[in-house]
Structure 1
Amino acid sequence: MRTVMWVVFALVIGFFGIVHGYEKLTEAKVSCGYQMMDQGDRCEETWRSSTVVHSYDDQRSSNRVAGVIEMLVCGLIGLGGLGYGIVRVVRTIEVRREGSQSANGVTVTYEQEQACEITYEQACEIVYQAMRPGWAPGTFCLDDRRVVETDHYYVVVVGPREWIIDKDIHFTFPPGKPATVVDKQSGEIRQLHGRAVAYDPTWRISDNPNPRFLLSE
């Protein structure tokens, strides 16, 4: 939503800036500030302690140059906003496509997966047995208080107990840490970028009535 607002804001500035600059460029009358000039008038512009006097022809040239500059600057703002919006849309589509694909790259339906999918408890046990041995840093912890899943996989939260339970900032998750997921059909463990999970349209979360908090022994 914020991206859309910024893109719209940039396009509005670009549009009205180009229109206003074009009016300056093609305007028959010459203005000095907000007052119209006639042939023979002079325009005085004061900046701080210095004053500059422009003739009628000089002021007309100055207005046209200002119009061209305004059109260029506002046009670049509008194009930049449009380009940014396009990049964001393309990236969002790619991330959602990644999140909706199975391990072999073929998209499958939720009904097809339901026939032989594993349970969340089984997914947690698979991750526990695979990742607990040799875990570092800190003490291995599998946080199963909430069931996070999509139509294709379970998201299993693993990390140092010192951070998950004790909130010790020395053991915080590093930025960009991928999410640990388990394929519901094959039981395969994979690492997915957090955005691939967040942008999956089937993403959902619920409380686990029987959490176990699996820790290193």
Structure 2
Amino acid sequence: MLYICLAAGSVYILYFDNQDGKASVNNVIANEVNAKNYLKLIYGAQKQYVAVDWDKDGVKSYAEFIAHLWQTVDHNADPVRNSLIPRKIAFAMGVSRAIDGYYFQSIHTKEIQPGSPDSAIKNRHQPQQSIAIDLTHEWVVVATPASYGRTGTLSFITGSSGKIYAKDTRNRPVESIPDSLVPTGWQEITDELDIRKLHLERMKPKPGPLGLASLQAAKY
């Protein structure tokens, strides 16, 4: 069954695979907790990866793709097995290869405000600029639900800081990251309780223009 909830102009979609809606929500949250834990594994693997100059070019860098955390290449482009993460995570880079309802992708660009920090006020109305992420200094990976609303609703981001952030992107793909995550709606999470709090907040009806929440449900 599919339930579509309309709350103050926002649409929330929940899939109930059985009559026990609570069980289905718990399954979604279990997938999200697993995704968070997989990102922690990726973080630990990246710390090990950057400690080695795999291609012997004199420059140490983070893995460009998570698959390189299982097998990378040397200076002759020959494969080098490092097994820093399990193979099933390393190749979960698309919907068809998702693990526990999530797939993982490396992000290679970020959006920054043009100008130096002391000129931020002057440039705040200018379009943001996309720049390539320098893998010698930082990296970013996003975890995305393979089936939004059914296998998960939250997307997760982590990077070289080790912090994990979550956001309901409404099934919009994350192709670049903002220079600062929190002002754009991403919230730092550390455990399952934080994830459950986000679900409660997400489903809380917001007051409408007249101070009343409009809440309807359509059953299909």
TM-score range, shorter chain: under 0.3
Q: Which has the higher helix share?
A: 1
| TM-score normalised by L of structure 2 | 0.25
| TM-score normalised by L of structure 1 | 0.25
